[in-house]
Structures are given as C-alpha cells and as structure tokens.
C-alpha cells in the first residue's frame, strides 16, 4: 500500500514540475487507483503485485468513495451558491472602504453625528478650495485627513519664504514651487486614499462657473475681494454652499453662505469692497502665525458638517474670533432683498 502512495506523490510532484493543471494531476492519480483496484479483482490471492498494493481492494474502494463524497459535497455547495446569486452578478460588491481606511477613520465612524453614512458622504464628496495660502493650508490638510474623496485646489502663486511662518502645508524645500503642487504632495503624503486636483491658475470670470459646477462645496480662502465676489456669484447661480473665511493680525471670521438654504450670500454682508487702507493685506498689516490654522480648521469643520449633515453649520451667522483676547462672538446675518446676486 505504501508503494501506491509513494507513486501518487511522485505523479503529483512531476505534475507540479511540469506545470500540469491540477485536474489533470488528480485524473492521473485516479486512473492509477482504478488500475490498482482492477488488479486486485484480476490477480489471484497471494500474487506478489497484490501483496505489494495492499492485499485487498477494500482500502482503495473506501478511499475512492471518500474522495467521491468530498467532490459531490463541493459541487453541491457550488450549485447552491450559484442559485442564491445570479451568475451575471458578482457575489459581493467591492467594499467602499479598505481595512486601512476603516482603521484610519474609526474616530469619525464611532461618532453618532458622523458614523458610517457620514464617512461615506465625505468619501463621495467633491470640495473645491480657493487659495492654498494661510486659510487654504490647514483647510486642505484637514479635509484630506478627514477622507474627503476629491479635493480641488486653485491658486496661481508659488511658495515663498515669507509664507512658511503660517502656511504649514508648505515646506522650506518647496520654495519656488507652485502652491497647488506643494499642497497636493503634502495631502497625498498624509492620505493616499484621496484624489487631489491642482489648478495652477487665477480663477477668472471665464472659468469660475464651469469649475465650481463640478464640486459639491466651495471653501474660499483667497486674499482679494475681486475673486471673493466672483466665487460668491458662481456659487449662488449654481446653488453651491460657500464657506468663506478671512483674517488679519489677531482676528479672523468665517460663515457659511448658502442662499439655497435661506442664508445670505457673501454680497449680502459685504456689498462692496472696503477701501484698501481699511483692509490691508497680511503683508502690510501682519498676521499672527497660528491664526490661519484656527480659522482654516474651523472652515474644514464647517465643510464636514455641511457634507455629513452633522450639527448646525454657520448659516445665517458670522463667527468672529479674537485671538489676542481669546474671545469668540457670533453675529446674526440675514439675506438682503435688494442684493444684486441673491436678492428675490
């Protein structure tokens, strides 16, 4: 009997060496066992060949019977699975999140206000961030870390040494690189599970509406009123929520402008740009380094709230943060009936 088992092992090994398909290897072994059983029925008792192959056919019959039962069981199980699942459909849909992503976003998923549906909404969302500077830097970092599936970033500027005091998404070695590409590299390095679309250009009237139409939500962290009014108009026309932030020296402010949900637009609250001397740039007036991180992170939180439906976004409210005195206050704001952008 040992001789037959050794021959089976030899056949199997030769089949592996020759890359013979498994079904063919099993067929060869099966044919050999059938031949052994036939020999036991043909040869007389005491024949040396019968003695060398187990004296009787009974063990080989039992072995073949067990193998037949296993084969029949597996075929029956496969048949039942095919009946339960149509052949033209996959047995299971591809999971939305990998195990790595589930572990990464676990602190979101366990929260009642976010949970699995909220994290799914973030993964399927597309958010456009205008500006990769002081406000855009922390907003981009936290949106990517939170798992927002597609993030667009628009900026025509390059990284300068003076930016690094507050724009922490950029590094010293990025000086001279377009900000959108520096930000993209940092976001992908932090979370390779998101898609980042860089737009190295200044947003203009000719492409603002077309670009914003492809996104669910817009964050405006730019540094000029011309672009702010342009983005606001496009968002109102397309019905897209706009989260706008601004800062100077020690003070920052933000709000969610969403006329589609009965809140004012940016033009309602700031009907015209202030005189240059009343709204100096950060280069002229200065800004404390961590302040953009505070306001930009708040903008990212508002984005997550809007996308997931968690809490109460800052619609109809302007939040003002004074870092010098550690104070925050809210101002109620309302739509203007005579607003040239969203009025009526």
Is 93 inside any structural domain? no
Contact predicate 281/255, CB 8 Å: no
Whether residue 29 lies inside any domain: the answer is yes
Average pLDDT over residues 63-71: 75
The whole-chain average pLDDT of the chain stands at 86
- Identify the burial level of 200 via C-beta atoms within 10 angstroms of its C-beta, where 0-12 means exposed, 13-18 middle and 19 or more buried: middle
- Better-scored residue on pLDDT, 142 or 73: 142
Taking the C-alpha atoms of residue 338 and residue 217, their distance in angstroms, rounded to an integer, is 25
Residue 272 DSSP SS3? coil
Q: Can you tell me the distance from the alpha carbon of 307 to that of 37, in angstroms, rounded to the nearest whole number?
A: 71
Of 36, 51, 84, the one marking the end of a domain is 84
Pick the residue with more confidence: 7 or 317?
A: 317
Q: Average pLDDT in the 2-21 region?
A: 66
Domain assignment present for residue 55? The answer is yes
How many CB atoms are closer than 10 A to CB 175?
Answer: 15
pLDDT for 172 beyond 50: yes
Q: Are residues 146 and 53 in the same domain?
A: no
pLDDT for 171 equals 96
Q: pLDDT at residue 35 above 90?
A: no
Within a domain: residue 229?
A: yes
- Specify the pTM: 0.72
| Residues 275 and 324 grouped into a single domain | yes
CA dihedral 321, 286, 171, 149 (to 10 degrees): 40
> Is 120 found in the same domain as 44?
no
Choose among 185, 252, 261: nearest CA to 217. Answer: 261
In a domain, 261, yes or no: yes
- Residue 85: is its pLDDT beyond 50? no
* pLDDT tens-digit series, residues 150-164: 999 999 999 999 999
Structural domain total, the chain: 2
Residue 344 lies in a domain: no
**Do 186 and 46 have their domain in common?**
no
User: Does 205 share its domain with 123?
Assistant: yes
My answer on whether 120 and 10 are in the same domain is: no
Is position 339 within any domain?
Answer: no
CA distances (Å), origin 206, targets 73, 156, 159, 171, 212: 67, 16, 26, 32, 12
Q: How far apart are CA 259 and CA 237, in angstroms?
A: 10
User: Given pLDDT bands bounded at 50, 70 and 90, which one contains residue 30?
Assistant: confident
Same domain (yes/no): 23, 118: no
> Looking at the structure, do residues 188 and 161 belong to the same domain, yes or no?
yes
Is 145 within a domain?
yes
CATH of the domain at 204: 3.40.50.720
- Domain of residue 223 covers 99-332
Q: What is the pLDDT of residue 220?
A: 96
User: Residues 198-214: what's their mean pLDDT?
Assistant: 94
303-312: buried (b, 16+ CB within 10 Å) or exposed (e) per residue?
bbbbbbebee
Mean pLDDT of 8-31: 68
């Amino acid at each position: 009997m040992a001789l037959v088992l050794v021959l089976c092992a030899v056949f199997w090994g030769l089949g592996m060496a020759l890359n013979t398909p498994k079904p063919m290897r099993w067929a060869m072994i099966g044919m050999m066992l059938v031949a052994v059983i036939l020999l036991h029925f043909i040869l007389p008792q005491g024949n040396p060949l019968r003695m060398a192959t187990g004296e009787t056919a009974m063990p080989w019959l039992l072995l073949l019977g067990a193998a037949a039962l296993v084969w029949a069981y597996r075929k029956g199980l496969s048949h039942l699975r095919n009946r339960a699942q149509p052949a033209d459909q996959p047995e299971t849909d591809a999971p939305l999140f990998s195990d790595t992503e589930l572990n990464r976003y676990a602190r979101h998923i366990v929260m009642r206000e976010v949970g699995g549906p909220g994290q799914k909404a973030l993964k399927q969302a597309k958010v456009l961030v205008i500006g990769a500077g002081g406000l855009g830097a922390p907003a981009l970092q936290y949106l990517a870390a939170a798992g927002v599936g597609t993030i667009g970033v628009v900026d025509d500027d390059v990284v300068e040494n003076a930016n690094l005091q507050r724009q922490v998404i950029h590094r010293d070695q990025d000086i001279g690189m377009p900000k959108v590409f520096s930000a993209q590299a940092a976001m992908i390095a932090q979370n390779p599970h998101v898609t980042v679309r860089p737009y190295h250009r200044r947003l203009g009237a000719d492409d603002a509406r077309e670009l914003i139409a492809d996104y669910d939500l817009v964050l405006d962290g730019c540094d000029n009123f011309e672009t702010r009014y342009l983005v606001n108009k496009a968002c109102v026309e397309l019905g897209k929520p706009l989260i706008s932030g601004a800062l100077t020296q020690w003070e920052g402010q933000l709000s969610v402008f969403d006329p589609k949900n009965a809140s004012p637009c940016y033009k309602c609250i700031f009907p015209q740009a202030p005189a240059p001397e009343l709204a100096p740039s950060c280069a002229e007036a200065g800004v404390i380094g961590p302040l953009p991180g505070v306001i930009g992170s708040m903008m990212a939180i508002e984005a997550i709230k809007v996308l997931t439906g968690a809490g109460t976004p800052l619609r109809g409210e302007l939040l003002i943060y004074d870092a010098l005195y550690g104070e925050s206050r809210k101002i109620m704001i309302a739509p203007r009936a005579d607003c040239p952008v969203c009025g009526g």
